[in-house]
Structure 1
């Protein structure tokens, strides 16, 4: 069933459950629906409370549905998973390591890199909100600030300038100067700029990873050509050499360490 009808049904069920007891007798369902519409009059506290609850429920379901996307676009997950995929292609291995292993490795490395961000978001935003010390609006701003600092520290000014210029052109205003701090950067330009920067760095790292394996392929192909074995696929011979080369140089250790060290820590982090 589509998500929109589900939300409508849930909202209707909450509305019926929140009705006063007298709305359930006499006119039955029609009387209940009449009470719902009568509560829509201005100044009705019950209607305002019910509408707030429904909006909170819809917002919570929306956040839960887009949480995987937020994890990908606002953290280091994108760079890790792209580099691992390029490495598997460079080795010539189609199914090893499998996708679930690469995704899990990228996910746990993301948790390792983003741990200071998560801790600041919890201590400054989520925990005070659960203790009823701050409002939802204040908690949302405090939760987002550590992520904004992280993204700003790892975004190229050129990419940020590009999206700020596009946003200003769409709004018909003058382009703003490149922000010098994370507080001056807006979410509208910062998130896509961070994504572009991540993709650029991931493909740059992937290119450097590819070079030694391409050299091994060329050497094996030249040896086979000189030996007259032109019908033998070079990939079949070069594959074990590439695997043992990657193992001997301790490739996973070097790659994981280099990827995590490639991130600029937050200010004060």
Structure 2
């Protein structure tokens, strides 16, 4: 159980190791016989601590950020501030992230987790194999200008190849790119709903119904239109497709 928890935090362990020295982290993992000597309570505490890092990994190194932002802004575009509830949005974003990241997860499992649990490879090799799929995914989704901005803020020279990119520079650049892409997608989604709001407001003004809130008329129209075009399916398909382009 402890070994599984250790492998779950492979990417963050490597990220942290760049700051404190990778050799000490790797030595700690390879000489993991000390784990068996711990009291059961400490083993549970160690495992829970490792698992608590998963939300940070989910946000920082996967497709979750883009998906949850687009879904949240879609809800605002419809004019529904609390529907669907946050728990529904987050749950949907989580499983869409699972679909989008499935090739990466499978590669980490095949190249790092399974061989390490079978004791076929060392912890250092498992760390390298485990981080590479995430690195490739983040590099493929990161815009050059965002990466250049992060390097400029860090006063770090531009690497000669992708293999030389340090993870502490790649993660913030990836998050900046995800934020930019999410807002670009949300802008396109907002346009038709904004047009509906403008048309309804103009119509009510022309009819002299200035006391009627436009949102009370526009909201059911937007919901009906969204249902007719099967909007949730279109948005989720577009989101998943955006990671393949």
TM above 0.5, yes or no, is yes
User: C-alpha offsets along residues 180-231 of structure 1, whole Å, 9 cap, x if unaligned?
Assistant: 43x2211010000000000000011111111111110111001111111111
- Computed over aligned residues only, the root mean square deviation of the Cα atoms, in angstroms, reads 2.2
What is the aligned partner in structure 2 of residue 164 from structure 1? 151
Q: Name stretches of at least 5 consecutive residues in structure 1 with no aligned partner.
A: 1-47, 170-174
After superposition, the Cα gap between the structure-2 partners of 1:161 and 1:226, relative to the gap in structure 1 and judged at 3 Å, is same
Based on CA coordinates, which of the two structures has the bigger radius of gyration?
Answer: 1
Structure 1 residue corresponding to 2:232, chosen from 252, 261, 264? 252
What is the aligned partner in structure 2 of residue 92 from structure 1? 79
After superposition, the Cα gap between the structure-2 partners of 1:122 and 1:247, relative to the gap in structure 1 and judged at 3 Å, is same
What is the aligned partner in structure 1 of residue 192 from structure 2? 212
> With CA pairs under 8 Å and 6+ residues apart, which has the higher RCO, 1 or 2?
2
Q: Secondary structure at the match of 1:132?
A: coil
Alpha carbons 1:151, 1:191 under 8 Å: kept? yes
Matched, 1:127 2:108: no
Q: Secondary structure at the match of 2:52?
A: helix
How far apart are residue 63 of structure 1 and its match?
A: 2.8
Alignment of 1:192-231 (within 5 A): 192-231=172-211
Q: Name stretches of at least 5 consecutive residues in structure 2 with no aligned partner.
A: 1-31
How far apart are residue 53 of structure 1 and its match?
A: 6.4
Give the number of equivalent residue pairs: 210
Q: Secondary structure at the match of 1:177?
A: coil
How far apart are residue 251 of structure 1 and its match?
A: 1.2
After superposition, the Cα gap between the structure-2 partners of 1:50 and 1:257, relative to the gap in structure 1 and judged at 3 Å, is closer
* TM-score with structure 2 setting the length: 0.79
Matched, 1:113 2:103: no
Matched, 1:177 2:164: no
Alpha carbons 1:151, 1:194 under 8 Å: kept? yes
